[in-house]
Structure 1
């Protein structure tokens, strides 16, 4: 008599083994499914730049420049045009414009219930002979800023030439901003890194010192040092206006805060990731990459800004 094809064809030990294997499979499946479900439900905490209630640089903001060392007329024009373009209202200016970028900074003023910041270019001084020498301490930058500061509430921009070494330059930073609360004045220092550390302070116009070795972009004004300076000036200007006295908008500690632009370091266009600046505009004639145009036709690469409403790095291209 033939046997049926049911479970009775297996011996009891084999049947118990099959049941054990089936139970283990279901258990492991549940563990894996549970882990996958928990992972999909996890949302990383949203990064937010908190307003700490301090004064911001609202209203009219005259900017004076101290050129320390040798800068050519063209180099001065590139940087001066950037500053002149921040609050320019001429509708004929090519888009995307520097003004559009600056309008993103103004969202911080609106969020804090303060007036928009209207930057104007004021006095420019030149110290061609480097009166304090070509190796400067950080305290000497403060002294230079004091020399070029002509009024309360002004912003002073101290810019050092490629052959001027500054304490901490390249090792710790490419520039910094600081303030004097007694005189209600603020200043920014940025160095020209063309010969000292272009791989750090002029990226993405030079091969990076570390990380993915992607080909460098062509600098929009054919000057790696100065085009890199504009990136750093823009980054620090956004941070200075929104966090001038270390109690404005920032994330983290007051000693090393993330500010409006520094919270988006390395991001210039959509789709950016480490080693890739993002999707940018490219000049058909020079092959240079840029994302903003000034009032006199100079092109710039400006950093993304952290949007205080969406908590995202926003670009203008």
Structure 2
């Protein structure tokens, strides 16, 4: 990619998409295009093909997806598999048809088996049964990886796939029911502080370990890989790459960090009647580290930035 290259960021208003636009702008890329859902429905193949025919982007970051936490995945499984398959099928195929030089497809760490050995390396894909609660979403993302590999094998394209760990940062989803754990904690501690609650209840023991990556670090990794990782000529179509911090934190430590950042003075209560979920979920990021990329933003600094964003969003909506 050079500074004048026409770059299309699909999902440019989402958590990763907005971080990608910011990162590309900071790096001096001037010619970035994005379309809101109101302007183009990515699940509509005709609209997507028309867009590619007219705009002819040279590089594509496919960060658009229907996403949500356990509740949303459990409640709307058909929507999750149907929407995500349509979006990625349309964009990957249009990228091939209109001669896109390189595409970066963003997946998710939920592609790995529920009982994958830890840390999870790229070779464990399709090595066991998936977590049932987000299986439809995971299957769609696995299909995206295989689709990129298949187009690379058959058509000689250079479509790479990246699998991020749990992401957070400005522009996150703070919805009370279908947000992920970190933004959910930010919201709960903030509301508890405002209403002078004595305690905040956390599901489970607080012992499960999770890995988190700041959204702008994820964006930097995507740009780095677009510039440094090629899969053309690989007879297998190229392997996907894990993107994470490689650092684990317990849910208890995470809650204490958010509590401190928000300034909540009450107590943490762990509801032992509630499930813990998977005990450990860590990506093996040694492949990415060997290429020369590591995360920059440590957890507390990232949570501070995310909380400032949440407060700004709240202020704007009232």
TM (normalized to structure 1)? 0.34
TM (normalized to structure 2)? 0.34
The structure richer in helix per residue is 2
